[in-house]
Copies of this chain bind each other. A is one copy, B any other.
């Protein structure tokens, strides 16, 4: 699995969907979800779309904003991280697709376990606690995201760095 030709992306990228993403967490989107009307039918509420899990070891929920610079694609996937204590949610404020790379929870993670997903611009994601994920992968131009995650002490970020000859290459488009 060693590739020096960066033009060959060997991590497939799928369109993000709630069903495909279920092992990793929640897709936050209106599409495919029911709503109820509030405010005299002026507002459709798509209710409670993510399992927010931040309480362990005295954690509190926090709302932050992140401004991501775009990566240059194709790119090598050099490392993955996880937050063992908590979920972490990213919702784009710019209606732009971003790239999501994940793997199911486990003591460690290997490149062959990775799954790549491209959002459709209207989708956010909520990584479940312990899910391996790449750092925020902004595509195309500087983009802003709302982040809902855990505020608190504790060892809550593990990183696995892949050996260079094991790294996969990914492009920011559907395979």
Nearest-Cβ distance from residue A145 to partner chain B, whole angstroms: 9
Pair A138/B69 contact, Cβ less than 8 Å: no
- Asked if A151 lies at the interface with its beta carbon under 8 angstroms from chain B, I say yes
SS of A interface (majority): strand
Answer whether A67 and B144 are a contact pair too, CB < 8 Å, given A92-B93, A95-B94.
Answer: no
Cβ-defined partner of A135 (8 Å) among B30, B43, B148: B43
Are A50 and B65 touching (Cβ within 8 A)? no
Q: Identify which of B49, B54, B65 contacts A28 (C-beta below 8 A).
A: B65
In chain B, what residue has the closest Cβ to A121? B93
| A95 touches which of B35, B65, B93 (Cβ 8 Å) | B93
Q: Is the CB of B62 within 8 A of A46?
A: no
Residues of A43-94 contacting chain B, CB below 8 A = 43-50, 52, 54, 60-69, 71, 89, 91-94
